[in-house]
């Protein structure tokens, strides 16, 4: 479903170019959940950004099925990201001026993929039924993260990308949110790639890959 091949990325620092990723290879099957670990600065977030098409690699390819996303122009990458990817970040990134109900439906409506029965099921499974009229500032961290996961899954993505999605949550809430995300991902058949520093959370997924010195181990 996802095929990353020989992916390399470097950034300029002063007069030098610093290599972050050096020929990364990664495969994720449909319905598979994978934990991405590595020390700070190892390039985990850079890899997620390249997979999502938020940045371009120096070399190598990112491919979803038959589509080589890394070769698409900016507008087509943005459309693919909107229509087929779910993104969850530690900062939640909810829209403050929208209610929970409108935040949940935001991406799927823009993508023209809003599915009312699926939307209703997400609300029920994520325990958001009593919160739909509230705004993000009226929610706890765990509630906001549930909304963020629901918004990402509402579009029925090919792949859910999560960058330290439970970093702001206590342990019990983190376990609950991750279990819900895993269950919903397995039901939709999309892949799931999660960056985490937690060995305990990584062990909850199907497998773990480690990024070190710019390569997957």
pLDDT tens digits, one per residue of 130-185: 999 999 999 998 899 889 989 998 988 889 999 988 877 788 888 888 888 888 88
The one-character DSSP state at 164 is S
Percentage of the chain exceeding pLDDT 70: 100
H or E, element range at 212: strand 207-212
**Among 179, 202, 114, which Cα is nearest to 153's?**
114
Domain annotation for the chain: domains and CATH numbers: 2-216 (3.40.50.300)
Specify the pLDDT at position 96. Answer: 96
Q: What is the pLDDT of residue 90?
A: 76
**Given pLDDT bands bounded at 50, 70 and 90, which one contains residue 34?**
very high
**pLDDT of res. 210:** 96
Distance (Å, rounded) from C-alpha 52 to C-alpha 159? Answer: 9
Mean pLDDT, range 26-36, rounded to an integer = 95
| Residue whose tokens read 């977030």 | 45
Q: pLDDT (tens digit, 9 = 90+) per residue, 92-105?
A: 889 999 999 999 99
Mean pLDDT (whole number) for 3-32: 92
d(CA 101, CA 147): 9
Q: Collect all residues with Cβ–Cβ distance below 8 Å to 205 and sequence separation of at least 6.
A: 33, 34, 35, 182, 192, 194
């Amino acid at each position: 479903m996802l095929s990353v091949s020989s992916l390399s990325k470097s950034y300029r620092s002063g007069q030098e170019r610093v290599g972050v990723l050096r020929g990364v290879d990664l495969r994720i099957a449909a319905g598979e959940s994978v934990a991405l670990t590595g020390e700070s600065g190892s390039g985990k977030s850079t890899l997620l950004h390249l997979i999502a098409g938020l940045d371009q690699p120096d070399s190598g390819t990112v491919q979803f099925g038959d589509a080589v996303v890394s070769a698409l122009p900016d507008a087509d990458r943005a459309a693919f990201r909107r229509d087929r990817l779910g993104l969850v970040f530690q900062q939640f990134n909810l829209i403050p001026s929208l209610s929970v109900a409108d935040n949940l439906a935001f991406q799927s409506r823009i993508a023209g993929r809003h599915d009312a029965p699926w939307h209703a099921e997400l609300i029920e499974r994520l325990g958001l039924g009593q919160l739909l009229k509230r705004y993000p500032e009226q929610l706890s961290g765990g509630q906001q993260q549930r909304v963020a996961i629901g918004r990402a899954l509402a579009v029925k993505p090919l792949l859910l990308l999560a960058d330290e999605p439970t970093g702001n949550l206590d342990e019990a809430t983190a376990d609950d949110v991750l279990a819900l995300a895993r269950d919903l991902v397995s039901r939709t058949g999309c892949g799931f790639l999660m960056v985490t520093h937690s060995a305990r959370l990584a062990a909850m997924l199907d497998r773990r890959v480690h990024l070190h010195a710019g390569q997957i181990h």
